[in-house]
Amino acid sequence: MPTAIVHRVPRRPHAWWGLLLLSQLLVAALWWGLGWAVGLPLMLASHAVFWWGVLKADSGLFSPVLVRLPVADKRLWLTIDDGPSEDTAAILDLLDAHGAKATFFVVGARAQARPEALRAIVRRGHGVGNHSHSHPQAWFWALGPARMRAQVAQAQAVLTEIGGVAPRWFRAVVGMANPFVSAPLREHGLARVAWSARGFDAIAAEPAAVVARVERDLAPGAIVLMHEGARHGRNVEALALLLQRLDALGYRTVLPEHLAPDLQPTPPVGAT
């Protein structure tokens, strides 16, 4: 297996400013020299690139993002977003029954409301990731630097205090990470994680349809996105069906921190 780094903390969180400035200077020069017929489309195209970086969950334009584990066999990373919730206890029992491990991307405020659920996740050998403090799904993508820093920092402090272990992974709300997320990720030694297989179970209620969508994108090293606590109330059913299907297909779950030594996380920022 080739050497690979899975835990990539942003090294230059403000580099995008230079890219933005250079692109707009180029557009202005071409507009001045060639007129609006050239300059206007180029301006729109340059802005579209930055919007793509925000709206596409696996875009690495503003910070490194992990989309797949570098393994060649039937191992995958199961991730569960939006907890803790009233589903957490049943999900933990399901995972134990299948000998599976998952990383729970947890919302800080929800962990404060259900601290014992977070402690149970850690106690039973699962991972905990940072998924913002209040999960502002309608406008996370539009947060300015101060509010973005607060969302990451508050969740990190709460999850560390309650769970006893500082998260090393971060998932943007709805996957949309704007340029201002990189600085707080670097500050807290967090690496951003997206996904490569999802069933849309946060909104889709039918477990069979959810699992069918996930299965279409299964491959060695897949990062599977699931949810808990959705309003339709069927996340546990969907996960149960998915775990049965993974067993039937011969897939095993793995946490990144349990991979081979050459795939271990990079040292925290500032470490010697």
Tell me which of 7, 81, 87, 135 is the catalytic residue: 81
- Check if 81 is active-site: yes
Chain centroid, CA 207 distance in Å? 22
Nearest to 88 by CA among 76, 80, 97: 80
Residue 251 backbone dihedrals phi, psi, to 5 degrees: -85, 145
Tell me which of 126, 131, 135, 227 is the catalytic residue: 227
Nearest to 78 by CA among 98, 105, 103: 103
**From CA 114, how far away is CA 171, in angstroms rounded?**
20
- Check if 258 is active-site: no
Instruction: Give 224's DSSP letter.
Output: E
Measured between alpha carbons, how far apart are the two ends of the chain, in Å? 27
Annotated catalytic sites, by residue? 81, 227
